[in-house]
């Protein structure tokens, strides 16, 4: 008798194994239709992990079976792949499975989670499914069933019988990789992490991508990236990205590769590589500080010219906290304000067209356009530094709310010089309260543009500029309407 699947829906009926054809290249694949909810499926227990848990932590638990009555027939929800990309994301959902026998990946996921087979095939196409030969260590807050299952599938006697992990350390065998083929065979004991509701980017389908191309060279393409898009994709969605859609627009046989990143909510110059060789070269130029990046930032307050220095907390999640004082182990963040000029505050019509979040900040007569030379390139650096000096970027819901809180009560910032603490525990609690004062990551554009990029290589200095930033548009006619 086959062992039950160690999943959140292990009592669902089993299907016969059958090959899954690879999903065709559809312009709007992986549409999460409301039809998915129109046909009831057995209730399942969600993963115990928080949707906001970082990638390293989300790979650390295995879902347990929900006690449900198995239906007599397998009735998948209706699924129409050709529906438009939804404007709103589904609630984040991550499921963790362990195959208890040799399985076909798509068949196992479809059966265990009660998902339509084509839906699972699209999840795999989007890069939303990961596997590891051995299940990772559950987090401390996991249930006793998690730990029991982990011990069962990682018993030395069990691991010794698995040919796929011979010669590997446990840590090597626990490394996760993307499942790239729905027909991939899973060995008994293989761990899966399934991002059932990937983050979506409907803006990708609204853009005329050819008009966003600044330059096409032998080794690279320079793109004027639109806001509300991802340069190279996310952990759970590598399909809806600037690299993929630009490759299609240009008719390239080999997909473009990312060489650097800018935030999803920002716009401007991005260099995409045609070859691995150029990617390696460009990464080397960045390390050697041979790449110059200039930004335009639309702020709520004037900023003095000169170099601004902060130190960023070395935690790989938002919000990024910065301190004026040097703290051991924190990253140096420096940017040079080259110019700051007074400009009109964006009109209500412009803000509506570009879906700008006012974040509760009152409209002013004027805003300020800062020209910035980025000296170090840390994630969210410009946004965090400007907010820290009381000049947050317009529309930046992640940092503007914290800036307003600090203006109302300067002592709320635990990294400020005004506060003293009696213990590390007290300071840690203050840090958590400070994090809570930040808002959510913007879903649309903010007042930040990567306006220019240039680099020195083999005696040449290519230089490229982005188009006019959204806040300086003469009219509201845009591809957003």
Q: How far apart are CA 21 and CA 135, in angstroms?
A: 28
Nearest C-alpha neighbor of 244 from the set 204, 281, 276: 204
Query: At CA 446, angle to CA 445 and CA 451, rounded to 5?
Result: 95
Q: How far apart are CA 314 and CA 323, in angstroms?
A: 12
Q: How far apart are CA 391 and CA 383, in angstroms?
A: 9
Phi and psi angles of residue 215, each rounded to the nearest 5 degrees, phi first: -155, 150
**110-143 as b/e, with b when 16 or more CB fall inside 10 Å?**
bbbbbbbbbbbbbbbbbbbbbbbbbbbbbeeebe
Are the C-beta atoms of 299 and 392 separated by less than 8 Å?
yes
**19-31 as b/e, with b when 16 or more CB fall inside 10 Å?**
ebeebeeeeebbb
Determine the 3-state secondary structure of 127 from DSSP. coil
Q: How far apart are CA 315 and CA 262, in angstroms?
A: 18
Given the residues 80, 263, 396, 474, the one annotated as active site: 263
Q: In the structure encoding, which two tokens stand for residue 479, read together? A: 């591809």
Is 325 tagged catalytic? no
Are the C-beta atoms of 382 and 451 separated by less than 8 Å?
no
**303 Cβ partners below 8 Å, 6+ apart?**
337, 340, 368, 370, 386, 389, 391
Are the C-beta atoms of 230 and 201 separated by less than 8 Å?
yes
Q: How far apart are CA 258 and CA 241, in angstroms?
A: 10
List beta partners, residue 393.
299
Catalytic (active-site) positions: 263
């Amino acid at each position: 008798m086959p062992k039950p699947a160690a999943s959140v829906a292990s009592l669902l009926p089993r299907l016969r194994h059958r090959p899954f054809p690879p999903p065709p290249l559809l312009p709007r694949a992986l549409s999460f239709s409301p039809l998915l909810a129109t046909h009831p499926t057995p209730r399942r227990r969600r993963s115990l992990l928080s949707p906001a848990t970082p990638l390293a932590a989300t790979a650390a638990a295995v879902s347990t079976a929900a006690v449900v009555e198995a239906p007599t027939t397998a009735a998948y929800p209706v699924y129409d792949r050709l529906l438009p990309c939804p404007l709103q994301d589904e609630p984040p959902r991550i499921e963790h499975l362990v195959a208890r026998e040799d399985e076909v990946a798509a068949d196992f996921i479809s059966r265990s989670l009660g998902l339509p087979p084509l839906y699972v095939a699209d999840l795999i196409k989007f890069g939303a499914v990961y596997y590891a030969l051995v299940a990772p260590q559950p987090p401390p807050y996991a249930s006793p069933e998690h730990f029991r299952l982990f011990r069962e599938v990682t018993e030395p006697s069990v691991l010794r019988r698995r040919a796929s992990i011979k010669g590997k350390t446990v840590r090597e065998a626990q490394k996760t990789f993307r499942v790239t083929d729905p027909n991939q065979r899973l060995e008994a004991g293989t761990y899966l992490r399934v991002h059932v509701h990937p983050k979506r980017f409907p803006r990708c389908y609204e853009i005329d991508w050819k008009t966003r191309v600044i330059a096409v060279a032998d080794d690279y393409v320079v793109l004027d990236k639109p806001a509300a898009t991802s340069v190279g994709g996310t952990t759970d969605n590598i399909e809806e990205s600037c690299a993929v859609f630009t490759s299609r627009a240009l008719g390239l046989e080999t997909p473009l590769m990312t060489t650097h990143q800018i935030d999803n909510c920002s716009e401007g110059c991005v260099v995409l590589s045609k070859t691995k060789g150029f990617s390696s070269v460009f990464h080397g130029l960045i390390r050697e500080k041979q790449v110059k990046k200039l930004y335009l930032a639309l702020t709520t307050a004037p900023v003095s010219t000169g170099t601004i220095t902060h130190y960023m907390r070395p935690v790989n999640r938002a919000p990024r906290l910065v301190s004026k004082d040097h703290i051991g182990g924190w990253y140096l963040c420096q940017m040079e304000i080259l110019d700051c000029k007074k400009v009109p505050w964006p009109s209500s019509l412009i803000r509506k067209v570009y879906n700008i979040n006012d974040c509760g900040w009152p409209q002013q007569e004027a805003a300020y356009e800062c020209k910035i030379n980025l000296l170090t390139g840390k994630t969210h650096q410009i946004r965090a530094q400007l907010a820290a000096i009381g000049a947050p970027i317009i529309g930046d819901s992640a940092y503007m709310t914290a800036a307003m809180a600090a203006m109302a009560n300067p002592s709320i910032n635990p990294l400020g010089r005004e506060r003293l603490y009696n213990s590390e525990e007290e300071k840690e609690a203050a840090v958590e309260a400070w994090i809570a004062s930040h808002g959510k990551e913007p879903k649309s554009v903010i007042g930040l543009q990567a306006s220019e990029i240039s680099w020195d290589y083999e005696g040449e200095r290519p230089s490229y500029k982005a188009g006019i930033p959204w806040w300086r548009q003469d009219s509201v006619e845009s591809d957003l309407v």
